[in-house]
Amino acid sequence: MGFFFEVVLSKATFTSPGKTEKTTSWTASFDTGAAWASLAFQAHKLGWAAHGMGGFDHEAARRVIKASEEYRLEAVVAIGKRGERASLPERLQANEKPNARRPLTETVFEGELR
Ligand SMILES: Cc1cc2nc3c(=O)[nH]c(=O)nc-3n(C[C@H](O)[C@H](O)[C@H](O)COP(=O)(O)O)c2cc1C
């Protein structure tokens, strides 16, 4: 069974074409989220599973990949081939079913932020 992890980073500054000074990128996290989604779709299309993780040791990951403070560590993604359910510990086997999704009406709404 093969799997690997990747750390997804965004760069919070950029230099516009023709300019020399750096400026803040307000969409860096948004753009990186779109890139991760594309990766997950492509992985799925190729028969791989990709799972995002926000709960990781950010400081340790930053140290390991030697990322400067200019980079924001957005997530870690585990990519691998789906294995047999029976190979999981029993308590994890119980999780291997579709989970309940929050109704869309709780996420998308008109007017002011609640
Ligand atoms: C950006 C991101 C971060 C996530 N972080 C975690 C995490 O730290 N721990 C975790 O158990 N699941 C995390 N998840 C959820 C899992 O990746 C996965 O979606 C979850 O196990 C449910 O799987 P399912 O979407 O196939 O139902 C995260 C998902 C995303 C998109």
Tell me which amino acid residue 19 is.
K
Q: How far is the CA of 21 from the centre of ligand 1 (A)?
A: 37
pLDDT at 92 over 80: yes
> What is the chain's alpha carbon radius of gyration, rounded to the nearest angstrom?
18
Name which residue sits closest to atom 3 of ligand 1, judged by CA: 53
Kindly state the tokens that stand for 17.
């074409």
48-81 pLDDT per residue, tens? 999 999 999 999 999 999 999 999 999 999 999 9
Name which residue sits closest to atom 11 of ligand 1, judged by CA: 53
Query: Looking at domain 3-84, which CATH architecture does it have?
Result: 3-Layer(aba) Sandwich (3.40)
User: Which atom belonging to ligand 1 lies closest to the Cα atom of 78?
Assistant: 17
Q: What's the CA gap between 97 and 26, in Å, rounded? A: 37
36/95: higher pLDDT: 36
Provide the Cα torsion 60, 64, 65, 66; round to 10°: 90
13-51 pLDDT per residue, tens? 999 999 999 999 999 999 999 999 999 999 999 999 999
Q: How far is the CA of 104 from the centre of ligand 1 (A)?
A: 18
Which DSSP string corresponds to 26-89? TTHHHHHHHHHHHHHHHHHHTT-EEEEE--S-HHHHHHHHT--TTEEEEEEEEEE----GGGS-
Per-domain boundaries in the chain: 3-84
**What is the per-residue pLDDT for 114?**
66
pLDDT at 1 over 70: no
pTM: 0.83
